[in-house]
Amino acid sequence: MSDISFPIFYDIHLPQVSREFGFEFCKRTQSSVFVREKYSSFEDPIEREFKILNLMEFNSKRKRMSIIVRDEIGQIILLRKGANSIILDRLSKNGRMFETDTIKHLNEYGEAGLRTLALAFWFLEESEYSAWNVEFLRAKTSMDNDWLAELERVSDIIE
């Protein structure tokens, strides 16, 4: 499992910043997201498709949202965004190598009046995802009164 986290500044237009880093969200369908990647001004952009497998919605209790996608070579990737404290608390050991510097920067941005958002991702094994997805679909389609609490519990497992 590998993950990474870094701050995004809401006060700067997010799509503009993404383009400056070489990524442009160019299209979305119900089942896919298309991203145009351009690594240098000398190269033609590459359009990549990510199949949407699951979406875990943001709410004020969770303070995060996540999406699970499958890339063109079959890798399953969980992408998560949310409140700094929530995302930082959930990082693996590998994701903590920049934690001290990240917290320092987040504090500086906060003192400057900027709002931040942390992002993290990691790759899931097919077996891990498949086992979790059975539980997620069961919770999502449940007719029980506590289906929402069960959905949150199952989402928490993968996040």
Could you report the per-residue pLDDT of 116-128, keeping only the tens digit for each?
877 888 899 999 9
Q: Which residues pair with 23 in a beta bridge?
A: 37
Would you say residue 18 has pLDDT above 80? no
For the chain, what is the domain count?
A: 1
Centroid of chain to Cα 28: 16
Model confidence, pTM = 0.79
**Dist CA 106 CA 116 (whole Å):** 7
pLDDT for residue 87? 79
Examine residue 146 and state whether it is found in any structural domain, yes or no.
no
Would you say residue 2 has pLDDT above 50? no
Examine residue 131 and state whether it is found in any structural domain, yes or no.
no
Examine residue 139 and state whether it is found in any structural domain, yes or no.
no
Would you say residue 97 has pLDDT above 80? no
Phi, psi of 93 (to 5 degrees): -60, -40
Examine residue 105 and state whether it is found in any structural domain, yes or no.
yes
**Dist CA 99 CA 106 (whole Å):** 10
Examine residue 130 and state whether it is found in any structural domain, yes or no.
no
pLDDT tier for residue 23 given thresholds of 50, 70 and 90: confident
Instruction: Please give the residue range of the domain that contains residue 100.
Output: 6-125
Examine residue 154 and state whether it is found in any structural domain, yes or no.
no
pLDDT for residue 68? 97
pLDDT for residue 62? 81
Examine residue 137 and state whether it is found in any structural domain, yes or no.
no
Examine residue 101 and state whether it is found in any structural domain, yes or no.
yes
CATH code of the domain containing 64? 3.40.1110
